[in-house]
Amino acid sequence: MNWTIEPPPAYFVHVPKTGGISLGRLLEDAYLPWDRVRLNPPVMRTVSLERFRRFRFYHSFHQGRQLLEMTDRSDLLTITMVRDPVERAVSQMLYLQRVVREIPHTFTPEYLASVAPIVNASLEDCVDHEAFAQACDSQIRTLGVMEDYTPLFKGSPDATSGRSVLRPYQLPPLMDVDDTSQLLANAKRWLTEIDVVGTTEQYRESVLMVRDLLGIPTPAHLPMLNANPGRGKSASHYRERLSPKLVAQLEELTAPDQELYAFAVERFREQWSRYQSRPRRAYSISAHVRQATMRPVHAALQPLRRIAKRILAKVSR
């Protein structure tokens, strides 16, 4: 076993609705606050490109490979998660409906008008909507798209545009962003280079591989954040609750993502087999110390965070 003080530098590619918030929180806790950054537009517009290249941990929210290349770093270990495409697409649609109902003030009037017909609709009634189509190819798009992310950083006139998976806007394209075949090919190529390709369906095994890669502790209870509040152990798979007709429709709509998912599962199996065949590689001392000292503090503060969040939501309405 190798001993280190801090975990090695790493880059987490967060594909939407794959358990990325939960895994991202686990990874962020392993690094010092000034060594980590969440790469979403509200944060990116406060970070200069020069500063961007000096972090030790990057949590990239739904951004493509060009963002990693913009770090100009060869020392970053890479991690991502994928999910069964039908399960993931349904999760994204239900999430969209929920957040539009609960926090409509965070969306533009134009976007609210475009999704108004589906906010309270059944999945069957909104399967043909453009928002569902976007949900069905999010994995090939996140892992395969080539765009210029310079406009999102501090100093750019477009830095306040507020891009997200739910409120997309056009970045300068570096490819035909609607070329499904190229998106799929690009995504597969990136997956062959990523150090740990986890899957939501094998979440615990995926976390074990990530822990081994970085030498960080495995928590007694894995975090499950940003999950649909309507789900529980008795309803762990959306497929079981959908009509056969809708499942068939979604399998057709997610065909490219299905191909990418099958490819990713093979990568996961190869990596899991290698993980099982060798001893643990590293142990990051500071990450273990921080978890032992700070996680009880985080847990104690959770009720206060929830109260503050409710108050802020009311004030902003």
- Read off the pLDDT of each residue in 204-224 and give the average, rounded to a whole number: 82
Greater pLDDT, 164 or 84 = 84
Mark out the alpha helices in the chain (DSSP H runs).
20-28, 41-44, 49-52, 65-70, 85-102, 109-115, 123-126, 130-136, 138-144, 180-191, 203-214, 244-253, 255-276, 285-316
- Give the pLDDT mean for 164-172: 64
Torsion over CA: 143, 225, 162, 137 (sign): positive
Structure confidence at residue 72 (pLDDT) = 95
C-alpha–C-alpha distance, residues 297 and 198, integer Å: 29
Q: Which amino acid is at 219?
A: P
Question: What CATH number is given to the structural domain containing 32?
Answer: 3.40.50
pLDDT at 245: 94
pLDDT at 303 exceeding the cut of 80: no
Name the nearest CA neighbour of 52 among 69, 32, 65: 69
> Among candidates 176, 137, 143, 132, which has minimal Cα distance to 62?
143
pLDDT at 4: 76
Range of the domain at 119: 2-316
Which tokens sit at 196?
A: 């740990």
Inter-CA distances, 102 with 1, 97, 108, 202, 314, Å = 48, 9, 14, 31, 11
The total number of structural domains that make up the chain:
1
Give the range among 15-29, 125-139, 221-235 with minimum mean pLDDT.
221-235
- 36 vs 170 pLDDT, higher one: 36
- pLDDT for the residue 159: 52
Q: Residue 234 — very low, low, confident or very high, per pLDDT cuts 50/70/90?
A: very low
- pLDDT band with cut points at 50, 70 and 90 for residue 299: low
